[in-house]
Amino acid sequence: MTSLAETGARDNAINAPDAARLLPVRVWLFAVAALVFAMVVVGGATRLTGSGLSITEWRPILGAIPPMSDAAWQNAFEKYQQIPQYRQVNAGMSLEAFKAIYWWEWTHRLLGRLIGFVFLIPFAVFLARGAIPRRFVAPVAALFVLGAAQGALGWFMVMSGLSERVSVSQYRLAAHLALAVAIGGYAFWLGLLMRAMNRNGRHCEPRLGGRGKLREAIHDLIADFPGSPRRQKPPRDDDLSSDAPAMRATSDRDAARSSSAAKIGAGVLSGLIYLQIVAGAFVAGLHGGLASNTWPLMNGEILPPGLDVLSPWWLNLFENPLAAQFAHRALAYAIAIFAAVFAIWAWRSARAMRLPLLALNAAILAQIALGVATVIYGVPLGIALAHQANAILLFALALWTLRRAYAAESA
């Protein structure tokens, strides 16, 4: 099957779109990604403020108009008073307090509608002008399908809190966040691909290969690490002439192995950060940030009691607030260690990845600091939102690192 990178390169060779034509498309894709990521942050605010169930209807078109009169506000409030969250958590809430949570959820939904317009109108214009390379049309159009699915999934999530629960299902919340981050990351990745097309007119194959290549890449990632006894010694001067062909072949093999290791490492790092974002959704959905407000220990223990109260054991990761926070912390440490080791290796073997990996490691340190502050201070809104926003930045930096790993091969 022909890859997106290969077909993009073919279109570029045939049609040769110039910088002036591709730049607006790339800016538009990056803008779509930024809006999606902004919506994720606003969605975090609706969760933290308990606003997600304040609008009990899904009206994709008419819902864009908020209540405009006292009677309309009272009607919306009366609908909210019928759900368990009001009766069990917010009984006695004033109309003014209801308005505060209503505006958070309304803004979240309005952003979703805005993203639809920001995508569709420029897409139609670019398509009519032939500004989008032919092989990119279907992948770009898929963003709209994914966006529509995200809207439906959002309402499916809200429905889980309208009849029996006082909050939405953490499983549906995690799915909603996972798809949102995937959509934003996909738009960002498409922009990066077009940027590479515009710069050098070709793409490398975005493929990690089979299990044999995976094992070889991991082997060479370890063998090429600075200080490893398995690293090759530099040749003597008197060997340069007689062994030149063999040395060139060896050098080419080493370069190919380093390239494979770079792509594997960047891909693993991107996947771990994405997994950590989804794990954070379970922490948020379970109010797990309040389960322990101490650091570096949790409630004074390395392994606090209460991590395995549910059976089977793995259920604790998804339904036990303390275990969800513990897993979130542990994965954060694992990501930090992996990113640091990978950056040290890449500093020598993959120079094109130096800048994104430096930025990524700095953002990881900031993310850990924000996470510690979030739990210590009892999940304050501002710090918690900064923690979520920085997580999105981390994912974007990881994708940039991954793109650099592939682009270096075709440079």
359/192 Cα distance (integer angstroms): 17
Q: With a cut of 50, list the residues of the chain below it in pLDDT.
A: 1-2, 5-17, 198-234, 239-240, 247, 411
What's residue 408's pLDDT?
A: 67
What's residue 249's pLDDT?
A: 52
221/346 Cα distance (integer angstroms): 9
For residues 150 and 36, the answer to whether their CB atoms sit within 8 Å is no
Q: pTM for the complete prediction?
A: 0.83
What's residue 352's pLDDT?
A: 83
Terminal C-alpha separation, the chain: 24
What's residue 322's pLDDT?
A: 97
What's residue 331's pLDDT?
A: 97
387/381 Cα distance (integer angstroms): 10
What's residue 12's pLDDT?
A: 43
54/104 Cα distance (integer angstroms): 9
343/350 Cα distance (integer angstroms): 9
Return the closest-CA partner of residue 80 out of 104, 51, 107.
Answer: 51
320: left (phi over 0), alpha (psi -120 to 50) or beta: beta
182: tokens are: 């995937």
What's residue 60's pLDDT?
A: 85
What's residue 217's pLDDT?
A: 44
Which residues 6+ apart lie within 8 Å of 194 measured at CB? 8, 22, 25, 26, 29, 133, 136
* HSE-CB for 130 with a 13 A CA cutoff: 6
What's residue 11's pLDDT?
A: 43
Position 68, amino acid:
M
